[in-house]
């Protein structure tokens, strides 16, 4: 049973929100401006969805119609609206209309929103490089065994009766 305890401890580390936030620390360490560091520090917590919105706008040259953002997002319209409103209230995006279409809500990253969106994209690239380094230490067969184990372990956690 000692092994079960160790497995559970490692598994719990993969989804815990307690203690340090390595992603937020990475963003702080790589931010270029004091105002961006302040925005990151002062945010109680950016949700991953909020960071994804900023990143998506960054990938679209900082401007995108709300409707197109919704099509690219897995969020409901209501949830997306709440996140957009929160980002706008925090000065990270702007909402506006174009002269050609006064109905369509357009979204634009502010300078700080762009920097945070760009940092989020770079964070994911850095994480993916690290994950690939770890995966390369194991054979394909070992990777498949570990993946099967993790899937079974996660399923056991989800299927409590």
Q: What is the mean pLDDT of each run of 10 residues along the chain (161 residues)?
A: 73 62 88 91 81 95 93 92 94 92 93 96 95 94 91 80 63
d(CA 13, CA 20): 11
95 to each of 51, 89, 127, how far by Cα in Å? 17, 10, 31
* Whole-number pLDDT of residue 21: 78
Largest CA distance in the chain: 67
* Whole-number pLDDT of residue 1: 57
Specify whether the CB–CB gap between 9 and 18 falls below 8 A.
Answer: no
* Whole-number pLDDT of residue 24: 85
* Whole-number pLDDT of residue 43: 76
* Whole-number pLDDT of residue 92: 94
* 3 state SS of 102: strand
* Whole-number pLDDT of residue 17: 54
């Amino acid at each position: 049973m000692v092994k079960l305890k160790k497995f559970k401890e490692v598994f719990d580390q993969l989804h815990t929100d307690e203690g340090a936030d390595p992603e937020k620390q990475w963003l702080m360490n790589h931010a270029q401006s004091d105002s961006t560091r302040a925005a990151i520090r002062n945010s109680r917590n950016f949700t991953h969805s909020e960071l994804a919105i900023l990143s998506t706008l960054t990938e679209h040259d900082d401007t995108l119609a709300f409707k197109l953002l919704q099509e690219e997002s897995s969020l409901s319209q209501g949830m997306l609206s709440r996140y957009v409103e929160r980002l706008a209230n925090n000065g990270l995006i702007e909402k506006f209309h174009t002269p050609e279409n006064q109905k369509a809500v357009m979204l634009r990253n502010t300078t700080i929103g762009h920097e945070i969106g760009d940092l989020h994209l770079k964070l994911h690239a850095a994480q993916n490089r690290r994950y690939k380094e770890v995966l390369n230490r194991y054979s394909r067969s070992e990777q498949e065994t570990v993946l099967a184990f993790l899937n079974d372990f996660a399923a056991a956690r989800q299927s409590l009766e």
